[in-house]
Amino acid sequence: MSRLVYVLNGPNLNLLGKRQPHIYGHETLADVEANCRRVASELRLEIRCHQSNREYGIIDCIHEAREIAAGIVINPAAFTHTSVAILDALNTFEPPVIEVHISNVHKREEFRHHSYVSLRADGVIAGLGTQGYQLALRRLAHLLDRAAAK
């Protein structure tokens, strides 16, 4: 059984560490991905990380994941609140999906309170900083272990 997980990041997250650090913290995307790789190897997961500032970049990755992946961790960033297309793409993907937000979107502007992606996500993590990605991977590993034990 595949233990490949896609870790997808949406627009502006390439600027992590430089962008509004009081909201998104000081770690760069490279730091976040390195931490994900470390946790993934501990959990015996294989991961592929991808960031795109373009909606179609995220959608193409979801389509690629459809063929081969056992789970997706996704921070769609601003597309969370706007993208029916990303929701539709995730609805073509059967294995578990965990939605991650670095900040607590519910404590922020009202337009950030609604997520199209949450209509599909099996779990949502918000406001736990960049640690949210690692916790999402732990949850996916747990779900995969549980499925394999059945």
* Residues noted as catalytic: 24, 101
d(C-alpha 139, C-alpha 67), whole Å: 21
Minimum distance from CB of 67 to ligand DHK (Å)? 27
Binding site for ligand DHK (CB under 6 A): 12, 75, 77-78, 80, 101-103, 105, 112
Question: Between residues 20 and 41, which has the closer beta carbon with respect to ligand DHK?
Answer: 20
Counted residue by residue, the chain has a size of 150
Minimum distance from CB of 69 to ligand DHK (Å)? 21
d(C-alpha 71, C-alpha 143), whole Å: 9
Question: Between residues 3 and 99, which has the closer beta carbon with respect to ligand DHK?
Answer: 99
Residue 99 exposed, middle or buried by CB count within 10 Å (0-12, 13-18, 19+): buried
Question: Between residues 101 and 120, which has the closer beta carbon with respect to ligand DHK?
Answer: 101
Minimum distance from CB of 30 to ligand DHK (Å)? 16
The helix or strand, by DSSP H or E, that contains position 6, with its residue range, turns out to be strand 4-9
